[in-house]
Amino acid sequence: MKLQPITSIHTTTIYNAEPSKPVSTTLLSVLLAIAVLIQVIACINFMNLSTARAAKRAREIGIRKVVGAQRQALIGQFLSESLIIAFLAMAVAVPLVIGVLPYLNQMTGVELSAEFLKDKQVWLGILALGLITGLLAGSYPAFYLSGFQPLNVLKSKVINLGGNLNLRQALVVFQFVLAIGLIISVVIINSQLKFIQKKDLGYDPNQKIVVPFRTSEALQSANSYRDAIRQIPGVQVVSRANNYPSQFVFNDMNFYKQGSDMNAAHGIQFMRVDQFFLKTLDINLLKGRDFNPTDTIGRVIVNEATLQTLGIEADQAVGQYLYSDREEGRIGWEIVGVMKNFNFNSLYSEVTPFLFVYSNDDYNPQMIIKAETEDYAKFISQLETTWKSQVPAVPFEYTFIDQEVQQQYEADRRLSRIINSFTFLTILISCLGLFGLAMFTAEQRTKEIGIRKVLGAGVSNIITLISKDFIKLVIIAMLLASPIAWWGMNKWLGDFAYRVDIQWWMFVLAGVAAIAVALITVSFQAIKAALANPVDSLRSE
């Protein structure tokens, strides 16, 4: 037994049988890192857009310097502009966050309300974020733009911004590395979730309803309730057990085969079930027979993994005994059947040795109903009506096994929703960065484009000229993002015993999507430059 701080219950993943699936602190750190990267990308794009428009503000800066403005004053001006934009954005962001809280709650599986805005620390954090963002985003443009020489800009000389092109290109590549990596992650995560939904579990969880008997009073009426609901149209089979698939199995014991002893025993999980359990869950029986009402408590049905672990041949298993030494002496269980392996727990773990022990109904608090109906609302209502007539003092509860099975992967679906949202934001912000670089490139090559048009270059030639450079950046980003995404997704898939294979087409799909987004983003600026009148760019200054 170990003591665990209450504050660590939801973020400790090393224990079994938790009441709810905890969240990995590594996952939280990854999500926080992505959020910080998105914020940094937004700042980088602001820098790119600001410096890309430098030529349009050069004359203003020159005039201010001529009339006596010091560089420190200009730096202060640009930083102030950046801070104003950041705080205006913050003023829009706060009500926007309140508006999207329902979607945020659905995406993350938590219940947040606007009450958190009453916390002073939250506001201090928001103000600090706005201040840091404004200063970070405005720092490079402030120092860069304030360094223009007034003599050059007032003579209308071309300002040489080419020295910063490599930095801008590197920043765009960095943004698309993140965007493509997230796209690859989305494709792989969704593929794994689809695989989980379609994976053959070895039993059929669909149309199986569980009604729990939680009190001794309810258990006393369990048999009469079972007999009563068997008369309801749509009820095919009703079984009682002490557990059901997707729930943690607490029962286990060390068993050994005939001719061995406890030194060769292996721990095997088991459940107590009645003679209808296999039929209810459609579990395949490979050898021997199912339980019947004449069986005693010492009869068991084992899975294939049990035989393999204990070294028993399947053809010779029926009729053999499994033993376990207890304080009262050696106890034996006769194998009456061998069932096919099935995933009793989640696909995170492989199939382990498992067996069913025949049990009297009095020990089985879970009732599993195999149903076939088109109107589940009416069917559940009939189950509840019968319950109230049989067990009036205990509230009626029910759950669907297929929903319980899928609930095991809710954290993964939540991760998928979060990654989808982050991917959308990252692509959107990366497109803004690409747009800024396209604007910068078009302005730097205005005269070149004009000369090419005069010499006969068509619109398509100009668009290709501008676009191909950006496609190269996206391809470089794809080459860098692919191994990173492959490593990260392999780590994530490593938690699953049953998983999809990472295919080459997943990376190609992400690259094609990124190239398509880049072309759409760049095409606007490329078409604008290609359609411009060359006379305007080549006339005497």
Could you tell me if 90 and 82 are in contact, meaning their C-beta atoms sit under 8 angstroms apart?
no
The count of structural domains within the chain is: 2
Share of the chain above pLDDT 70, in %: 92
Arithmetic mean of pLDDT, 240-251: 89
**Last residue of some domain: 379, 407, 435?**
407
pLDDT of residue 277: 93
| Whether 162 and 240 share a structural domain | no
Average pLDDT (144-167) is 62
Q: Is 489 contained in some domain?
A: yes
Point out which residues pair with 358 in neighbouring strands: 273
User: How far apart (Å, rounded) are the C-alpha atoms in residues 438 and 264?
Assistant: 71
Note the pLDDT of residue 84: 92
Binning pLDDT at 50, 70 and 90, where does residue 152 land?
Answer: low
Does residue 121 lie in a domain region?
yes
Average pLDDT on 434-463 reads 76
Give pLDDT, residue 72.
Answer: 83
**Residue range 48-60: mean pLDDT, rounded:** 69
Shared-domain flag, residues 429 and 505: yes
171 and 222 housed in the same domain: no
Q: What is the pLDDT of residue 541?
A: 47
**Residue 17 lies inside a defined structural domain of this protein:** no
Q: Quick one: 403 and 505 in the same domain?
A: no
Q: For residue range 265-303, list pLDDT tens digits in order.
A: 999 999 999 999 999 999 999 999 999 888 877 899 999
Is residue 1 domain-resident? Answer: no
**Mapping DSSP to helix (H, G, I), strand (E, B) and coil, where does residue 259 land?**
coil
Tell me if 414 is assigned to some domain.
no
What pLDDT does 318 receive?
93
Q: Is residue 6 part of a domain?
A: no
pTM to 2 decimals?
0.74
The residue among 407, 440, 470 that closes a domain is 407
Checking if the pLDDT of 398 tops 70, the result is yes
**Cβ-based neighbours of 161, under 8 Å, separated by 6 or more:** 51, 54, 55, 440, 444
User: 392 with 460, same domain?
Assistant: no
Are residues 81 and 195 located together in one domain of the fold?
yes
Name the residue range of residue 533's domain: 24-199+423-538
Residues 194 and 242 in one domain: no
Q: pLDDT band at 20, cuts 50/70/90?
A: low
The mean pLDDT value for 20-45 works out to: 77
Angle between helices 410-444 and 459-493 (to 10 degrees): 150
Residues in the chain: 541
Nearest to 44 by CA among 137, 130, 129, 131: 137
Which of 353, 381, 407 is at the close of a domain? 407
Q: What integer pLDDT is reported at residue 538 of this predicted model?
A: 65
The predicted structure's pLDDT at residue 107: 76
Would residue 158 count as lying in a domain? yes
Domain-located, residue 8 = no
